[in-house]
Amino acid sequence: MSTYEKLQAIDKRVIYILLALSIAVPLLFPLGLPFSVGAEVKNSYDWIEKNLNKDDLVLFSYDISTGAMPELGPITTAVMAHLAKKSVKIVGIATMTDGVMMARQLYAPFAKDLPYGEKFVNLGFLAGGESGLSSFLQNPYNVFKADADGKPIESMPVMKGFKDVKDIKVMISVNCGPVGGASIEQWVRQGFVTHKKPVWVGLNAVMAPGSMPYYRSGQLTGYIAGIRGAAEYETLVGRAGLGTSAMDAQSIAHALIIIFIVLGNVGMMAIKRSKAKGGAIK
């Protein structure tokens, strides 16, 4: 069998194994391949950097389903790392049932920088979608008496000074879309339109086109989409994480696929040319 024929007959199992390795290795051992930071991510980072100060109150909604964690988990971690650096107070809620568990998991790495009860609280599931969100913003204590673990919240230092929406500096929703929780549109209506508060979002890449008009019009203060957005934010925060690793894996895997496509086509064209000339295939 000639070299060109071998290129046409590469065992599929070899391709699958190499593709699996091209994904697994960068995830386990990040390469830190360079990439540019988009304007949306840079502006979103700059807004937090310039407008949030120590002990400012941030409402952080973990509107995340379990299935959305591969994209939204890295976004949340990168943003929380930035908020921890700014030493703000975070009041966490979830308008999706899964989000309560996700909030616990995503908070864990920051327990030292954001002591529970002092700098962070997880209030748990906020039922009712937009109606529930509206009620909470008007009077949080009418909706929550205790946190997700049943601990009274009134005496917690993180809740001191939080009476209603006026005390919130920015609302952040890491959001996987209208699948049971408050959507981006509802956050804009309640946060920006009704209460004139900055709304800052992280979302799945598939949601980016539909949500971009809110950012372009100034109704969203911050806007990060997909694993690429997470990687860009990690770069700005100076904390490489799963977003950066995933971008490495994606880049290597795409490069490998392109190489196989090129080799396959080179082999095919060489064989066709040789046959057309009536010569032997080498």
Mean pLDDT of 33-40: 89
What mean pLDDT value characterizes the chain? 90
Q: What is the pLDDT of residue 4?
A: 65
Mean pLDDT of 199-205: 94
Mean pLDDT of 14-25: 91
Burial degree of 228 (CB within 10 A; 0-12, 13-18, 19+): buried
Q: What are phi and psi of 225, to 5 degrees?
A: -125, 130
Q: For residue 52, give both structure tokens.
A: 């949030």
Burial degree of 30 (CB within 10 A; 0-12, 13-18, 19+): middle
Computed on alpha carbons and rounded to an integer, the radius of gyration of the chain in Å comes to 24
Distance CA 204, CA 175 (A): 7
Prediction pTM value: 0.86
Residue 30 binned pLDDT confidence (cut-offs 50, 70, 90)? confident
Percent of the chain with pLDDT strictly greater than 90: 69
Question: Taking 90 as the threshold, does the pLDDT of residue 219 lie above it?
Answer: yes
Q: What is the pLDDT of residue 272?
A: 80
Residue 32 binned pLDDT confidence (cut-offs 50, 70, 90)? confident
Residue 243 binned pLDDT confidence (cut-offs 50, 70, 90)? confident
Mean pLDDT of 28-38: 86
Q: What is the pLDDT of residue 217?
A: 94
Mean pLDDT of 91-110: 95
